[in-house]
Amino acid sequence: MLNAAITQFKLGDDGMIRYQPDASNPLPGEPFAKAVKGAKILEPDIEVLDAAGHDTEAVRGILREWIKNHIRQVLEPLPALEQTEGLAEPVRGICEKLYNALGIIPREEVQSLTAALDPEMRQVLRGKQVRLGPVLIFLPALNKPAGVRLRGLLYALWNDKPLPPPLPRDGVVSQKVDESADRDFYRAIGYPVYGPRAIRIDMLDRVISAVYDNAKDGKFQAQHKMAEWLGCQIDDLYGVLTAMGHRKLEPVEEKKEEPAAQEKPAEEIAAEKPAEEAVAEKPPEEVAGEKPAGAKPEPKARPELAMFALKKGKAFEKREPRPKSDKPRREKSDKDKKPRGDRKHGRKDQERKPERPRMVSAEAKINPADSPFAILGQLKKAGKDGA
């Protein structure tokens, strides 16, 4: 046992560690130890039940190292968040909260930290596989079934919950939950609860992004593809959107008054032809265009879904403005200050029409004898003299 391969140990959802003496046997062996609450949520302790004749502390030390490596392998990006030395304060704060929450936190809880992120800090978080969603911040790499099961076990151990925890089926997109469900547990394993369903975080993020991408004037329309992403009925989709804080808008139905039925005169009734005669008198083109009796009916168009008023609030904004960089702007050198004619595509400047001479604002001197009134007076005087 002290020299066993790592594949000979198996950690179950019940917290039991099983040992398989035959390394070629894929089946788990008998339980001989169990994981218990430790100093940190990602560092459970070990309780040895049966050392099989070996030194108990030696077996415990081997299993401590084994379970530490097992957690690092299954939840790879999560333990890496603990390494925050040299990181900026906003990045360090987000990483610490994600680590303690098993890789998923509501964005509104760290709004002050996300508002302080600059492009370089966001790049650091992307390098740590952190997704800054519009509502939730999470690690997409933890959505695999093994990651979900292990986080469920770690959460239960840390919070003294019974084992095994109520885990969703492997790979399920969403599932129904009742009102008494532990919402913190489902969020910790990557299945936040909204309305009547616990939804896998990657699909939930897809729906949230679609909501804000299609919103206009503070409203958006529910879409059938959203229900398909969540694997649920339309009523459950409405419940999920309402639980997010969006308000369903009731459709306005316009009532149209039907015209009163009028009795037809006897002459018109007598002039009407039976339906058989009307069908027989159809043009050949219309009869030929009709579908045969055995033809499949065309698929019905799916009904339009309800409209919703978008939830307001800082944590639910579609996009947040990036903070301005503190770097000083680079001053232009003499090389950058080129005349327009020397720039690329300078032909346009050369082909421009010559500018008109500018008007001078100074007043021009006018001879009083040349004014229109003086000339008119001269013409009148000449006419009198000629008479």
pLDDT block averages, 10 residues each, the chain of length 387: 86 95 88 96 95 90 95 95 93 96 95 96 96 94 96 97 95 94 96 97 95 94 96 96 94 53 52 48 51 61 91 52 45 49 46 48 48 54 51
pLDDT of residue 298: 63
- Give the DSSP letter of residue 12: -
> Has residue 192 been placed in a domain?
yes
Q: Are residues 231 and 181 in the same domain?
A: yes
pLDDT of residue 23: 85
Q: Are residues 43 and 173 in the same domain?
A: no
pLDDT of residue 276: 46
Q: Which of 269, 288, 318 is the last residue of a domain?
A: 318
> Has residue 155 been placed in a domain?
no
Q: Where do we find the tokens 């055995």?
A: 294
Q: Are residues 19 and 64 in the same domain?
A: yes
Q: How far apart are CA 54 and CA 272, in angstroms?
A: 104
Alpha helices by DSSP H, listed for 40-80, are 56-74, 77-80
pTM summary value? 0.69
Q: Are residues 120 and 55 in the same domain?
A: no
Q: How many domains does the chain have?
A: 3
User: In terms of residue numbers, what domain contains 86?
Assistant: 76-143
Q: Where do we find the tokens 């919950």?
A: 161
> Has residue 327 been placed in a domain?
no
> Has residue 23 been placed in a domain?
yes
pLDDT of residue 262: 52
Q: Closest by alpha carbon to 75, among 17, 155, 2?
A: 155
Q: Are residues 66 and 110 in the same domain?
A: no
Crossing angle, helix 89-100 and helix 119-127, to 10 degrees?
A: 30
> Has residue 198 been placed in a domain?
yes
Q: Are residues 199 and 226 in the same domain?
A: yes
Q: How far apart are CA 320 and CA 122, in angstroms?
A: 13
Torsions phi, psi for 321 (to 5 deg): -65, 140
Q: Closest by alpha carbon to 1, among 45, 49, 35?
A: 49
Q: Are residues 189 and 133 in the same domain?
A: no
Q: How far apart are CA 247 and CA 243, in angstroms?
A: 9
